[in-house]
Structure 1
Amino acid sequence: MPWNRSKIAVFDYFDKYIFLCEMYDEETDTMVELVLNFFPFDNSVQVIDPQKGKNLLRRVQLPTLTMEMLQIGNIVNIFAKLILIRDCAPITKRTLFNKMESTFAFIKPGPPSDNGKILTYIMKKGFRIVRMKNAKVTKELAMEIYQNCAGGEMLPIIIDYVTSGEVVALELVAPDAVKYFRSCLGATDPKKAAPGTLRYLYGHDTLRNVAHGCNTREDAAKIIDWFFGQENNRPKVPYQATLKDCTCCVIKPHVLIDGHLGNVIDRISTSDIFYISAMAMFSVKIHDAKEFFEIYKGVLPEYEEMCIHLSEGKCVALEVKCNKPNMNVVQEFRKFCGPRDPDLCRQLYPDSLRALYGKNYVHNAVHCTDLDEDAELEVEYFFKLLANMHD
C-alpha cells in the first residue's frame, strides 16, 4: 500500500525528523505502516499509526537511539519493537540526506593487516558502509571495472594485479559519494598524493595504490550489482568461506554504529594467531537471529535482547582461521574475545575484543562460537544459508 502523505502533513516539520516505517504485527500477521518522529533537541521519539490516527508510542526520551541509526533501510529498536525505516518526509530527506548517493570501492590485494586501518579511515571520513565482502575478482570483471579507468600498456598489469589475490568490496554512502571518495583516495601515484589521503598513507606505487573508486554514478551502480547482486538466488560473486578448520565471529551492530568495525578487524588481522578467511556484511531478520541464537534460548536470560540487537542494524560475519595448525581455533578465539561480560573483561583481560569494544552482556562487541562442533555450522549459517536468502 502506498504511503498516504496527507496523513503526516499536519505535523510540525521544524522541530523533528519524520520517518515512514513499517512493523510486523504478530497478532494480525500483517505489516503495519507507522510514522516515527525523532526530536533531536532531547533525543525523544514518538510513533504514530497514521491509519488509526493515534499514538502507538507517546513522545518519550530514548537515549539509546542515535542519528546514525536513523538511516533508510535500517531496523531500529523502539522499546523492543523492531521498526524498519522505509522512507522519510521530503524536508527530512533534504535536511539529512541532501545529495546522498552510493559509490563502489574495493581495497586492492595487499597486506590483510592494512584492511582494518583502511576501513577505519573510510568511516572516519563520514562514509557509511552498507555492503561489504571479501572476494576474488575474475579477469572479465576486472576488465569491466577498469575499461574506463586505465589503458595502454598498464591495463594488463593492473588486471593481473587485482586478480592476483582477494579484494574487499564496499558499497559506500555519503553526500556526493562518488566524487568525495575519489578525493579521499588521492592521486594514482602515492608519491603525488596529497597528505592525509588513503594512497598517501598506505600506497606503495602506482600499481599497489591501496584502493579503487568509481568515476561515475552509473559505473558505481553497475559494479555494485556485479559484486553484491544475486542471480538464481545465489550471489553473483561467491563468498570466500571454506567452512573448514574455522570459527565464526559476528561483529555486532553497535560496533558498526560506534565506528569500531575497522578496529575489530585490525585486532584480528594483526594478531600472531588468527587470520580472516571470509567476511561479509549482513542484515539479519529477527526470526533468523532467533534461529541462529537458539542454543541460548532458556540458557541465557539475555536471549531475547541478543536476538533483537542482532536484528537492529548491519552486522559483519567473519570466518576466522588459525595460523598454527595444532591449535584449537574455536577455544583460542574465545579467549581472544574474552568472557561475555565486558566489565569482567576489562578487569581480567583488558586487551580482549569485548574489553575494548563491548558495553554490556548484549552489546558485547562480538559473538564467537562456543563449541567446536558448532563452528562450521555457524559460518555456514551466514555464508551459505543467509547469503542465498538475502542481498
Structure 2
Amino acid sequence: MSSDGVRYCFIVKWLDPQTCLVWRYQLFYYTGDNSIEMYEIKNQRIFLKRVSHPEVHLEHLYLGASVTLYSRQLVIEDYGDEFTRKHLQNLQETTLALIKPDAIQQMGQIINSVHCNGFVIKQLRMCQLTTQDAQTFYKAHSGKPFYGALTTFMSSGPCVAMELVAEDAIKRWRLLLGPTCTEKAKVIAPSSLRAQFGTDGTKNACHGSDSTETAKLELAFFFVDRTLGSCARMRNCTLCIIKPHALLEGSMGAILDLILQNFDITAMELLTFSRTNATDFYEIYKGVCSDYHAMVHELASGPFLACEVCNKKGDTNPVEVVRELCGPIDPQVCKMLRPDTIRAQFGTNKVKNAIHCTDLPEDGVLESQFIFKQRFKPAQEVIKCKKF
C-alpha cells in the first residue's frame, strides 16, 4: 500500500442515449484520496485523467451498482483485475432482507438499523404478495404445521424486499434479526430487530436468507420480475422521492419514519434515473425553475427512493398535507420557519433539499403512474444494439 492508498479496478459500461452504443471502460478508484481515472477499452486510451471525486466511496462500488460521473451513468459489470476480485468479492456478499407485513409501520426504523450496521441497500421494492406468491416463496416449508398460517400472514399486507450488500451479509443480517421466536429474541438478543418489532414466531418483523444458494433464489423471486406484487394504488395519492444525496447520507430510514407517522406508504421502489429519465420527470419545471438543470443532475446522480403516499384515514387527496410535512423548497427557510419539516432536518440547499413531493393535487396520480407504471427504461437496462 502506498500513500495513494489502494487502487481498485472495475469494468463499467455506459449507454450513450444519443447513439444507442454501449461503451466499456476500466474504472480505477484510489482509496487514499477518493480519486478516479478511466481507460477506454475499445480504443485503448485514457478517457479520464486521475481526478479527485469525493462523492464516490468504495462501499458503493459493487457489481450491478450505478455510478454517475460527469453526467455519465456507469454500471459496474465486473471486477477489472484479480487483485480487486480477490479483495472485494468476499466483502460484497448479498442477501435478501424482507420486512414482513407486521413491521411495515416500523420500516423506517428497520432501514435506519440497516444503514447503521454497515449494509448497502442495492435493491428495494414494496410488494403485496398473493397467497399463491407466499406459498411459492415459502415452498421449502410446505407440509410443516406453521405453513398455512405463515403464507396467510405474508399475503395479509405489503412487505418490503431488499438486497443488502456487505461483508458476510447473510450472517450479519441474521445476527441483527435475532432468533426466529420473538419471545426468545427478547430474552437473549433484546436489541435485535425481532425483539424490538416482532410479536411471535410468525409475526417476527423480518426475514433473512440462510445461505448463499437460498439468497440467490430469494433475490431472484423478488427482483427478476419487478411486476410481482405491484401494489401502487395510483388514486388519491402523492409521490415523494427521497433524493440521491439523502440516501448517500444515510437519511432514508429517518425520512420514512417521519412520513409514516402521519401517512401510509402504499408503494415504494429504489430506482436510478438516466439524465433523460430525470429530464422527463422534471419537464414541467423547465423554463420555470431557475434550478431546473441542477435538479435534473441531482436526480440522475444516483439511486433514489420513490414512494407513493396516501392518507391513513379516508380516501382523500394527500398532496397538500404531504407538502406541509416536506416544507418549503429552500431548507434554509425551513430551518427558520418550519424546523420540524423534512427539508429543514435533512436538506442542504434548494437542489439537495432531501425530498421531492408532488406540487399540485391533480398531479399526484400522474407522478405515481410515471414511476410505478415503468414509463421509463431503468438505467441498468441494456438496449440490444452495437457494443464497443
Could you tell me how far 1:32 is from its partner in structure 2? 2.6
Residue in 1 that maps onto 2:115: 123
Could you tell me how far 1:99 is from its partner in structure 2? 4.8
Query: Counterparts of 2:133 and 2:376 in 1: how far apart (Å)?
Result: 21
Q: Counterparts in 2 of 1:282-293, with a 5 A limit?
A: 282-293=271-282
Residue in 2 that maps onto 1:59: 50
Equivalent pairs, count: 374
Residue type of the alignment partner of 1:16: R
Partner SS, residue 93 of structure 2: strand
1:202-243 superposed Cα distances (whole Å, 9 cap, x missing partner):
22222221111222323322222222222xxxx441321111
Aligned with 1:308 (options 282, 293, 297) = 297
Matched, 1:45 2:36: yes
Q: Could you tell me the TM-score, scaled by structure 2's length? A: 0.87
Residue in 2 that maps onto 1:239: 230
Q: Could you tell me the TM-score, scaled by structure 1's length? A: 0.86
In the superposition, relative to structure 1, how do residues 200 and 356 fare at CA in structure 2: closer, same or farther (>3 Å)? same
Partner SS, residue 374 of structure 2: helix
CA contact (8 A) 2:127 2:230 kept: yes
CA contact (8 A) 1:112 1:269 kept: no
CA contact (8 A) 2:71 2:275 kept: no
Q: Counterparts in 2 of 1:160-179, with a 5 A limit?
A: 160-179=152-171
Residue type of the alignment partner of 2:9: I
Residue in 2 that maps onto 1:70: 61
Q: CA RMSD in A?
A: 2.6
Query: Counterparts of 1:364 and 1:91 in 2: how far apart (Å)?
Result: 39
Partner SS, residue 279 of structure 1: strand
Partner SS, residue 110 of structure 1: helix
In the superposition, relative to structure 1, how do residues 189 and 221 fare at CA in structure 2: closer, same or farther (>3 Å)? same
Query: Counterparts of 2:88 and 2:349 in 1: how far apart (Å)?
Result: 30
Structure 1: gaps of 5 or more residues: 1-11
1:335-371 superposed Cα distances (whole Å, 9 cap, x missing partner):
2111222222222211111111122222221111112
Query: Counterparts of 1:316 and 1:144 in 2: how far apart (Å)?
Result: 27
Aligned with 1:350 (options 339, 343, 366) = 339
Partner SS, residue 90 of structure 2: coil
CA contact (8 A) 1:342 1:364 kept: yes
Query: Counterparts of 1:76 and 1:318 in 2: how far apart (Å)?
Result: 22
In the superposition, relative to structure 1, how do residues 388 and 308 fare at CA in structure 2: closer, same or farther (>3 Å)? closer
CA contact (8 A) 2:126 2:231 kept: yes
Could you tell me how far 1:53 is from its partner in structure 2? 4.0
Query: Counterparts of 1:275 and 1:313 in 2: how far apart (Å)?
Result: 25
Query: Percent identity, aligned pairs only?
Result: 34
Residue type of the alignment partner of 1:128: V
Q: Counterparts in 2 of 1:136-175, with a 5 A limit?
A: 136-149=128-141, 152-175=144-167
In the superposition, relative to structure 1, how do residues 103 and 15 fare at CA in structure 2: closer, same or farther (>3 Å)? closer
Query: Counterparts of 1:101 and 1:111 in 2: how far apart (Å)?
Result: 25
Residue in 1 that maps onto 2:384: none
Partner SS, residue 385 of structure 1: coil
Residue type of the alignment partner of 1:197: S
Matched, 1:368 2:357: yes
Aligned with 2:100 (options 90, 108, 113) = 108
In the superposition, relative to structure 1, how do residues 186 and 310 fare at CA in structure 2: closer, same or farther (>3 Å)? same
Residue in 1 that maps onto 2:256: 265
Structure 2: gaps of 5 or more residues: 382-388
CA contact (8 A) 1:82 1:308 kept: no
RCO greater where, 1 or 2, for CA within 8 Å and sep 6 or more? 2
Residue in 2 that maps onto 1:82: 73
Query: Counterparts of 1:35 and 1:163 in 2: how far apart (Å)?
Result: 45
Query: Counterparts of 1:142 and 1:25 in 2: how far apart (Å)?
Result: 40
Query: Counterparts of 1:387 and 1:59 in 2: how far apart (Å)?
Result: 33
Partner SS, residue 152 of structure 1: coil
Could you tell me how far 1:288 is from its partner in structure 2? 1.3
Residue in 2 that maps onto 1:3: none
In the superposition, relative to structure 1, how do residues 301 and 16 fare at CA in structure 2: closer, same or farther (>3 Å)? farther
CA contact (8 A) 2:131 2:151 kept: yes
Partner SS, residue 121 of structure 1: helix
Could you tell me how far 1:263 is from its partner in structure 2? 1.0
Residue in 2 that maps onto 1:192: 184
Partner SS, residue 226 of structure 1: helix
CA contact (8 A) 1:13 1:91 kept: no
Query: Counterparts of 2:91 and 2:142 in 1: how far apart (Å)?
Result: 28
Q: Runs of 4+ in structure 1 displaced over 6 angstroms?
A: 387-391
Matched, 1:224 2:219: yes
